[in-house]
């Protein structure tokens, strides 16, 4: 079951902040965040694991609310290079899942 | 260290033709994946493999077959292509820190397939 991302699209001016949300109706083991620029492959940003352990990108942060089965990606002081489509990939609780289910993406455009 | 590579980069097929997409990784990863990406749909998992000689179905497996005869290679086959299989196909691989979970997935550059 595909996680739901919001918003679908957002336009920012350089220096502004944004939050992208990812919600699941199923219990999550981990949430992965990727960014994809037009015509390129998705690139890993961050993993958030159940239990609160966080890894990833130094200038972008994220949270994982286990009670709400929701993750949020925080982009602060946005730069032009942040433009792209952000995907969350969810890994569901239970042994042997091995796979991610991706949301439909949030298109972020940063303008000067 | 090339990471994940895919061949070909582009391909045009006629309905009913067959083809194989090749994915190769040089990171010694156990897990490999095939996704398709369509506008507005995100990435959808077709098939995946958790080790040499093993494969499993993902979310949208119909019309595709896969094989993992060598750890570094993961092949995706279309036996009889249909226009609905027009898409961008991405391969990915990952290392897992513990059984039953997936770590960072590294994606290949993609194959753009058009079926007429």
Render pLDDT for B1-31 as a digit per residue (tens, 0 to 9): 789 999 999 999 999 999 999 999 999 999 9
Q: Which residue of A has its CA nearest to B102?
A: A98
- Bridge partners for B20 per DSSP: B77
pLDDT at residue A97, rounded to an integer: 64
- The yes-or-no verdict on residue A79 having pLDDT over 70 is yes
Q: What single-letter DSSP state applies at residue B3? A: -
Q: In B87-115, which positions are buried (b, 16+ CB within 10 angstroms) versus exposed (e)? A: bbbbbbbbeeeeeebbbbbbbbebbebeb
Average pLDDT of the residues in B86-107: 83
The pLDDT value given to residue A98: 72
Asked if B91 and B98 count as a contact pair (C-beta separation under 8 A), the reply is no
Please answer whether residues B96 and B102 qualify as being in contact, where contact means their C-beta atoms are separated by less than 8 angstroms: yes
Output the pLDDT for position B90.
Answer: 98
**pLDDT for position B99:** 53
Nearest-CA distance from A98 to chain B in Å?
5
Cis ω for the linkage preceding B23 (within 30 of 0): no
Which of A39-43, A105-109, B14-18, B92-96 bottoms out in mean pLDDT, i.e. has the lowest? B92-96
pLDDT band at B103 (very low <50, low <70, confident <90, very high): confident
Beta-strand runs (E) in chain A: 4-6, 9-13, 18-23, 28-36, 43-49, 54-56, 60-65, 70-75, 84-92, 101-102, 106-111
Q: B35: which chain A residues are within 8 Å (Cβ-Cβ)?
A: 102
Question: CA-to-CA distance for A103 and A75, rounded, in angstroms?
Answer: 18
Nearest CA in chain A to B57: A99
Q: What is the per-residue pLDDT for A68?
A: 87
- Tell me if A43 and B43 make a contact (CB, 8 A cut-off): no
Q: What is the pLDDT of residue B98?
A: 60
Q: Is A80 helix (H, G, I), strand (E, B) or coil?
A: helix
Q: What is the pLDDT of residues B40-74, one digit of tens each?
A: 889 999 999 989 999 999 999 999 999 999 999 99
The stretch B34-41 carries a mean pLDDT of 93
Sheet strands (E) in chain B: 4-7, 10-13, 19-25, 31-38, 42-51, 54-57, 64-67, 73-78, 87-94, 105-107, 111-115
pLDDT, position B70:
96
């Amino acid at each position: 079951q595909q996680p739901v991302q919001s918003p679908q699209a957002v336009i920012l001016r350089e220096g502004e902040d944004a939050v992208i949300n990812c919600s699941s109706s199923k219990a999550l083991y981990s949430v992965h965040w990727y960014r994809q620029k037009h015509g390129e492959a998705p690139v890993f940003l961050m993993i958030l694991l159940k239990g609160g352990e966080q890894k990833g990108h130094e200038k972008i942060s994220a949270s994982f609310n286990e009670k709400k089965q929701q993750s949020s990606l925080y982009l602060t002081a946005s730069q032009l290079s942040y433009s792209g489509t952000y995907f969350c990939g969810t890994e569901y609780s239970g042994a042997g899942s091995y796979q991610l289910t991706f949301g439909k993406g949030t298109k972020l455009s940063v303008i000067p | 260290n090339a990471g994940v590579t895919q061949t070909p980069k582009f391909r045009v097929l006629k309905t009913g033709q067959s083809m194989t997409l090749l994915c190769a990784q040089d990171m010694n990863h156990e897990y490999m994946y095939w996704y398709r990406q369509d506008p507005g749909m995100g990435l959808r998992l077709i098939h995946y493999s958790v080790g040499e000689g093993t494969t499993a179905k993902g979310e949208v497996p119909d019309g595709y077959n896969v094989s993992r005869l060598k750890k570094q290679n993961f092949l995706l086959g279309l036996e009889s292509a249909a226009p609905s299989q027009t898409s961008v196909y991405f391969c990915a691989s990952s290392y897992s820190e513990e059984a039953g979970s997936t770590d960072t997935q590294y994606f290949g550059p993609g194959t753009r397939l058009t079926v007429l």
